[in-house]
Chains A and B, each alone.
Chain A
């Protein structure tokens, strides 16, 4: 795309880009180090196995170099924004999947130069990150899969196509109809072709099978970790969320091994009754807009460092528990059945609010109710960033349902900024206070 006119991107001098990148990167390094230091401090008995995840959490560290090296040896890197991208196909073509949504606060201001501030900050921040070439994974991607979920994501793909090949995957807004599934499956086939063309590797039945088995193993470890959070808190929510999130860029096989090791350690802790925090801490669940490392870590931090302290035992976020909870369920190991299974796993099992059905997004409600019961949740924080329409609009219905089962829910809206932390702290602590009072009664 050398000579082509940029559709959206504005001209910025190389010098400015560099200056901005260096300063944002420096801040980001500080933020990451600080977040990890605080997580270590909050968590009594923090598992040793977390050290590995602290290390891969460094966005400008080991994993960047690894991917760089893999790329030099001829591997392709395929980025994606929403978790609907078929990871199994990317793996089957021997490419590296990385999720490239941005959690940097500072770059969202840069994004304002291209899209208005009303737009969801996840989108603005990703645009900003691209403007200054900040995100190593976005920079290393050879192509991007853009799933046309919410409006922001749809346009984000378009904007990023100024830099890289972007494969748009249209997604039906109604899940439970045979037409939707056919439509989605056709889309998957198209992307399969694109992945094969880019990598030069054919996705054969055998390769796809072993890719599916690989992600199934990852799901197994992932679910084991989430299941461990059902009982007394043996791991702080932030630590678990970090583990979940590193799946988005780490090597999947290694991630699986490390997560299993973490679970072994946690099980041992359960046996020895070494809990991560006081058993009186209210058990909180967050649902809403994805929260992305490293900057957008303020809500989990406020909850788990709050006075009184809360503990995040579950979440319903596409940046965390929704990433990998649902396995690809293959009935017969034929190509067609695997494709159907992949298609269904991403489309049908998803509770993303971009969907509706005869009964609205009832799947999300059911799933939240199930989580509340299974994970013994005492209060829900409904987290929305300004501009995230689909989550904001579903709140009313979810509140009604939760009121019905007498579970307090708190609507917390914020921005990609550090400025409101003080004010948020007051709000979050008031909520935790209220939960503690309820538990005492």
Chain B
């Protein structure tokens, strides 16, 4: 029975992912240069979503995932956030819906946005330290490393789950909080919230969270990314001295080509101002998730670039020109 449900859910999920990917691939070739990366990104996000679903069927992969998520940023910055994160995809899809309704998003004041960005590091620290504090308050009978680790990672408070929160697919291969027919539905963080609450609150709080993030991301692009501790953890390394080379994958600006037209600032879904403000050279910010919308929209050839090491992978173009494939 469980296996059957699982199989059903899997099929649905993959089907959904592939459908989205298919439709978007067609759209990419139809659209002009100014939106091509955005659509390509959707395809990869959808494919990633399907992949995560599979990964969730194997707990051991989950652990590996976590490590990967934490290690990748050293080299690739927050590429994960821009291109792979399922929660990010949900929010981007809500943005597409909003655009279709011709409703404008709202912006957070820059200062608040920066404050939240820093607050995430605090949140992250709290999440990581909480199990240790709990442990100290209620010491274990034995201090063997294995037991301590097990308690920290798998005890009543699981920081790992918080970090994996955004990756939860909408349809999960286990007994999710919401079952319709044979399909188990879930939503990022909801299971954790249920875990910490009980009784009626276990219903109300998750609903509030879902409502807040759905409405929130309808109004403010990528709203959860402004709070998300996972996103923060991804960026934490390049805050330290000695890690200036990191991430190797980064944006780069040609000062002389930039007219300060402001487009990059306006189109950024997490309101990164550094691309606009920095003079030139490597853009040094842990807020950017490398979604490349700004590179795609900057109207001057070669002004903004995505570089890895010293090599340029992608650069801004004169998007008014018809592309070669048209």
Contacts and interface: CB of A to CB of B under 8 A. Distances in A.
Interface of A: 175-176, 178, 181, 205, 216-217, 219-220, 223-224, 326-327, 329, 331-337, 340-341, 344-345, 348-349, 351, 363, 366-367, 369-370, 373
Contacts of A367: 256, 259
A348 B300 CA distance: 14
B261 A331 contact: no
> 6 closest Cβ contacts across the A-B interface?
A220-B320, A349-B261, A329-B263, A336-B104, A370-B256, A348-B262
B255 interface: yes
B148 to A, nearest CB: 50
A175 B261 CA distance: 10
B266 interface: yes
A373 B258 CA distance: 14
B311 interface: no
Given A327-B299, A335-B104, A220 B321 contact: yes
B256 A373 contact: yes
A341 B320 contact: no
Given A219-B320, A331-B297, A336-B104, A349 B259 contact: yes
B257 A370 contact: yes
Given A220-B320, A349-B261, A351-B259, A326 B299 contact: yes
Contacts of B267: 329, 331
B241 interface: no
Interface string B70-106: 0000000000000000000000000000010011110
A166 to B, nearest CB: 28
A178 B260 CA distance: 13
B161 interface: no
Contacts of A205: 102
Contacts of B320: 216-217, 219-220, 223, 327
Contact of B260 (A217, A331, A349, A373): A349
Of the candidates B102, B258, B260, the one having the most CB atoms from chain A within 10 angstroms of its own CB is B260
A363 B259 contact: yes
Contacts of A217: 320
B255 A366 contact: yes
7 contacts: A217-B320, A331-B266, A334-B103, A335-B104, A363-B260, A366-B259, A370-B257
B318 interface: yes
Contacts of B263: 329, 331, 341, 344
Contacts of B262: 181, 344, 348-349
Given A327-B320, A348-B262, A366-B258, A333 B299 contact: no
Contact of A348 (B110, B255, B257, B259): B259
Contacts of A329: 34, 261, 263, 266-267, 297, 299
Contacts of B256: 366-367, 369-370, 373
A162 B214 CA distance: 56
A335 B260 CA distance: 23
Of the candidates A331, A349, A369, A373, the one having the most CB atoms from chain B within 10 angstroms of its own CB is A331
B259 A332 contact: no
B316 to A, nearest CB: 11
Interface in B282-326: 297, 299, 318-321
B55 to A, nearest CB: 33
Contacts of B299: 326-327, 329
Interface of B: 34, 99, 102-105, 110, 255-263, 266-267, 297, 299, 318-321
A81 B260 CA distance: 24
Nearest to B268: A331
Nearest to A335: B104
A332 B104 contact: yes
A329 B260 CA distance: 13
B115 to A, nearest CB: 16
A344 B261 contact: yes
Given A175-B260, A345-B261, A348-B259, A334 B102 contact: yes
A348 B172 CA distance: 48
Given A326-B299, A329-B34, A349-B260, 13 more contacts: A205-B102, A223-B318, A223-B320, A327-B299, A327-B319, A327-B320, A329-B267, A331-B297, A332-B105, A337-B104, A348-B261, A348-B262, A366-B257
B259 A334 contact: no
Contacts of A216: 320
A51 to B, nearest CB: 26
Contacts of A348: 259-262
B300 to A, nearest CB: 8
B297 A326 contact: no
Contacts of B110: 178
B261 A334 contact: no
A219 B267 CA distance: 20
A401 to B, nearest CB: 11
Contacts of B103: 334
A341 B103 CA distance: 16
Nearest to A333: B102
B34 to A, nearest CB: 8
Nearest to B261: A349
A219 B100 CA distance: 27
A222 to B, nearest CB: 9
A219 B321 CA distance: 10
A167 to B, nearest CB: 24
B94 to A, nearest CB: 13
A326 B102 contact: no
A207 to B, nearest CB: 14
Contacts of B34: 329
Nearest to B102: A334
Nearest to A365: B256
A363 B257 CA distance: 9
Nearest to A350: B259
Contacts of B104: 332, 334-337
A333 B255 CA distance: 29
B63 to A, nearest CB: 39
